[in-house]
Amino acid sequence: MLSGISSFAQRMPDVDSMYLSAKNIGFRGVYDTARMEMDTVLQYAPNYLDARTFIARTWSWENKFEKSRAQLKIVLDTDPKNYEALDALVDAFRWPNEIDTALAICEKAIALFPADTLFKYKKHEVIRQQRNVKLTTNQLLSDSFYMKGRALAFTGKYEEGRVWLDSSIKRDPYFFDAYILKARTFSWQKKYEEARPILNYVLLNDTLPSRRKDAYSALADVEMYASKNKTSRKICDTALSQYKKAVEFHKKKSITLANEDFYKEAIPELQLYLDSVKNDTASIKMMEDFKFKKLRNYAGAGWVRQMYNPKTTFAPWDFGNIEYGHRFRKVQSIGRINYAKRFGEQALQFEVDNYIKIFRGTTLFTNTGISNKNILYPRYRLGGEVYQNLWSKFDVSLGYHILFYQPDTIKETFHLMVGSIGYYYKKWWLSYRPVMVLQPYGKGSTTLSNTAQARWFHKSAYDYLTFIFAYANGAIGLNNPTAIVFGEKNFVKLQTIRFGIDFQRRLNTTVFGGLGAWSDYDEYSASKYRYRFTLTLNLKKVF
């Protein structure tokens, strides 16, 4: 019995593929064949309501509205809230000019789907038709196809939406709104080469000012999305020369300038837009962001105190730093003086960080440093790391650092491989960072330290809470909790486990403050452990 069921299942055709094939036949205008194929689908799957709805649409496209309504009645008797059937039913009454019934169906659909825009748009078109705006049958069909394609495109179903838009264009080759939307769907998929010729065709053939503005707007977006900001600005300038009151192009220009770090130039362009559109909340926030990012300098200071549980005799460790940073167009440079007090000794370290934009999404980080007492800091340090954004959700990095120690007569050079992977999810940033110390104790002794973070942005990109977990297994790491201890074998292998939390808040427009608390369980000599508690404080002023 089971084998018989399995055999039948294997012979069952793929009704979804049959449905899509029949629908494509219908879009080509071969309605009889399309209906035959849909009837075959219904033989295998009697409750395949989309197939029956499409049969109804083909009858409407042939002006046989009674047959269309009969099919749609079957669908709506089974499923009174069927979105597709209600959409088709509006057309089945609208096209033969039975306006009152079409409006009643629109109202019913709007009540069922209050957040949806399609039926609100359809209601507007029915009212327009009621006001004796005469449309040909092909224009009515084209408009219906366009609205369906529009609804699909705005829900992310770009390929399916373009099928409807192509059918709209086939019935009305001058329906330029369909061309523009089709181009936008390509740009949303980053298929810029396919979007450009469509928009250029519209600009070459369409004379209606409102649609030409829309085409210019879409083309400016295409170039902006493709990181061709100068080209996008030229398109905006062309549009503004023809339509001086089209202030939305000033906004687009401001964004392209900001994309290239020209915030000073972006501000007056955005202001021209806001002078006309005063209630655009998003643009007002954008202006605030531009004014902040126009500032190129910052100064900061921080302090860290590490204390041990009372059962040990270790004195607290203290660390401090002051820094100054300046942001050029493609480089941000930070000079820093670090202070450390450990093991009853004090030391200073001078270092310089640079963040260099190579191209969009790629940043090179470099670090150089020198210290006066390198038992607390390395005598010299040098390193670099490349950061790359991937698919807007991920970022990764890979780098190499060298730390050179020379306390007394001991000389040690450490080679570190570092990296990271981060993922953005809603208001969270999740990251993992390994640090590999290459053979600090001789052949085969490579160690690995690990840090995992979960950062929650609770208000803005500058206000966040970070949860930290770290496990270090090595003599030394980069920005990890492992201590450096000298013994007879120079550097002793240690282990540390850390749990921590950091908090940063934007105190006002240009001042930021942060607090942190960590707890470590670390090995201070072979098989001997202690608890370490850390408090951090930092403050930064941008100007």
pLDDT at residue number 488: 38
Q: What are the residues whose beta carbons fall under 8 Å from the beta carbon of 280, sequence distance 6 or more?
A: 273, 274
pLDDT at residue number 360: 80
Neighbours of 517 (CB within 10 A): 13
**Count of H-run helices and E-run strands, the chain:** 17, 16
Residue 256 lies in a domain: no
pLDDT at residue number 482: 40
Instruction: Please report, for the domain that includes residue 301, its CATH number.
Output: 2.40.160.40
Q: Is the pLDDT of residue 242 over 60?
A: yes
pLDDT at residue number 29: 82
What is the average per-residue pLDDT within 26-46? Answer: 89
Residue 235 lies in a domain: no
pLDDT at residue number 165: 94
Residue 258 lies in a domain: no
pLDDT at residue number 485: 44
pLDDT at residue number 258: 94
Q: Is the pLDDT of residue 14 over 90?
A: no
HSE on the CB side for 81, CA within 13 Å? Answer: 5
pLDDT at residue number 99: 87
User: Among 92, 109, 134, which residue terminates a domain?
Assistant: 134
Q: Which of 119-123, 511-515, 517-521 has the lowest mean pLDDT?
A: 119-123
pLDDT at residue number 119: 87
**Largest distance between two CA atoms of the chain:** 100
Assign 409 a pLDDT band (cuts: 50, 70, 90).
low
Q: Is the pLDDT of residue 481 over 50?
A: no
Q: Is the pLDDT of residue 10 over 80?
A: no
Core vs surface per residue 261-273: b (16+ CB within 10 A) or e: bbbeebbebbeeb
Instruction: Please report, for the domain that includes residue 13, its CATH number.
Output: 1.25.40.10
pLDDT in tens, 367-379: 999 998 766 788 8
The three-state DSSP-derived secondary structure of 301-352 is EEEEEEEECCCCCCCCEEEEEEEEEEECCCEEEEEEEEEEEECCEEEEEEEE
Q: What are the residues whose beta carbons fall under 8 Å from the beta carbon of 361, sequence distance 6 or more?
A: 388, 389, 390
Number of domains in the chain: 2
Residue 239 lies in a domain: no
Q: How much of the chain, in percent, has pLDDT values that exceed 70?
A: 89
Residue 213 lies in a domain: no
pLDDT in tens, 185-205: 999 999 999 999 999 999 999
Neighbours of 288 (CB within 10 A): 11
What is the average per-residue pLDDT within 340-349? Answer: 85
- Mean pLDDT, rounded, of the chain: 87
Where is pLDDT greater, at 181 or 392? 181
The three-state DSSP-derived secondary structure of 407-463 is CCCCCEEEEEEEEEEEEEECCEEEEEEEEEECCECECCCCEEEEEEEEEEEEEECCE
φ/ψ of residue 170, rounded to 5: -60, -40
User: Among 74, 107, 134, which residue terminates a domain?
Assistant: 134
User: Among 119, 134, 149, which residue terminates a domain?
Assistant: 134
Strands 331-342 and 317-327: antiparallel
What is the average per-residue pLDDT within 434-449? Answer: 77
What is the average per-residue pLDDT within 149-160? Answer: 91
CA dihedral 407, 447, 353, 457 (to 10 degrees): -140
pLDDT in tens, 213-223: 999 999 999 99
pLDDT in tens, 312-330: 677 888 999 999 999 998 8
Residue 331 lies in a domain: yes
| Residue 386, domain extent | 297-542
pLDDT at residue number 419: 95
Q: Is the pLDDT of residue 267 over 90?
A: yes
Q: Is the pLDDT of residue 492 over 70?
A: no
Assign 9 a pLDDT band (cuts: 50, 70, 90).
very low
Assign 181 a pLDDT band (cuts: 50, 70, 90).
very high
Q: Is the pLDDT of residue 106 over 60?
A: yes
Q: For residues 319 and 20, give the distance between their C-alpha atoms in angstroms, rounded to a whole number.
A: 67
Q: For residues 458 and 456, give the distance between their C-alpha atoms in angstroms, rounded to a whole number.
A: 6
What is the average per-residue pLDDT within 34-50? Answer: 91
Q: Which of 378-392, 467-481, 527-541 has the lowest mean pLDDT?
A: 467-481
Cβ–Cβ under 8 Å, residues 505 and 499? no
Residue 183 lies in a domain: no
Residue 390 lies in a domain: yes
Q: Is the pLDDT of residue 63 over 60?
A: yes
